[in-house]
A = this chain, B = another copy of it.
Amino acid sequence: MTETAVGSPALKANPESKSQQAYAAVKARIVEGTYTPGYRLVLAKIAEDLGFSVVPVREAIRRLEAEGLVKFERNVGATVAGIDPTEYLYTMQTLSIVEGAATALSAPLIDSVAIARARAVNEEMRECLEHFDPVRFTALNQDFHSVLFEHCPNPHILDLVHRGWNRLASLRSSTFRFVPGRAQESVREHEALLQLIEGAADADTIEKAARRHRAATLDAYLAQAKQ
């Protein structure tokens, strides 16, 4: 009766739940910039766009709220979480700590191939400095750091790092657009970091270096914002 449709076995692969799909879809739109900060996320609208009911969309929104990507107000609705300077400060400071730790924990596990890859990325960034393209530069920056922290054996810490980066994704270009001078310094610090890792420096040294690297970007931003 229920016609179990065994006919198409291959399609069975990944019928991810609609909540998941909705989550991925909305998150993608936020990260990629289709939904800009402040954009109002109306459940019914999104549900219609995706062809779902509102229920899975609701769940997706709540998950995004938990990650800090959207702001939610009861009986009012959800909006894409902009990042005001204060939020930026908090997020960067937190990221400096968890990313520093992740990088230090990851360092002993990074093989020379990965180092080479990171160095190549950093080289691209250096080239990028001339015909300055902030968006590309920021993307490469994330690639670079990913190589450094992705080997972190503690998944909790790694997750926190990812969340921090996601949180900042809505800014993308902004950071380096606002603080152009910082970009060059950044590239230099990257090379220094690589040498520390290659040289098997002790964990504390690497952690501090990674943390200060991020903190320096934050400071540069703050100095800029002051004026």
Specify how many copies of this chain sit in the oligomer: 2
Chain A binding site: helix, strand, loop or mixed by DSSP? Answer: helix
- Cα distance A181–B225 in the bound complex, in angstroms: 52
A99 to chain B, nearest CB (A): 11
Q: Does A66 lie at the interface of the complex (its beta carbon under 8 Å from any beta carbon of B)?
A: yes
Contacts of A55 in B (CB 8 A): 55
Q: Is A63 an interface residue (CB 8 A)?
A: yes
- Residue of chain B at shortest CB distance from A207: B97
Does A91 belong to the interface (CB within 8 Å)?
yes
| Chain A residues touching B, range | 20 to 34
* The stretch of A1-9, A149-157, A171-179, A192-200 that contacts the partner chain: A149-157
B90 touches A155 (CB 8 A): yes
Q: Mark A127-171, 1 if CB is under 8 A from B, else 0.
A: 000000000000000000000000000111100100000000000
The one of B17, B67, B93, B156 that contacts A154, using a Cβ cutoff of 8 Å: B93
On whether the beta carbons of B90 and A101 are closer than 8 Å, the reply is no
Chain B residues within 8 Å of A68, by CB: 156
B63 touches A156 (CB 8 A): no
Binding site for B on A (CB under 8 A): 17, 55, 58-59, 62-63, 66-68, 74, 90-91, 93-94, 97-98, 101, 154-157, 160
Q: What 6 new A-B contacts, CB under 8 Å, besides A62-B63, A93-B157, A94-B160?
A: A17-B74, A55-B55, A68-B156, A90-B156, A94-B157, A97-B101
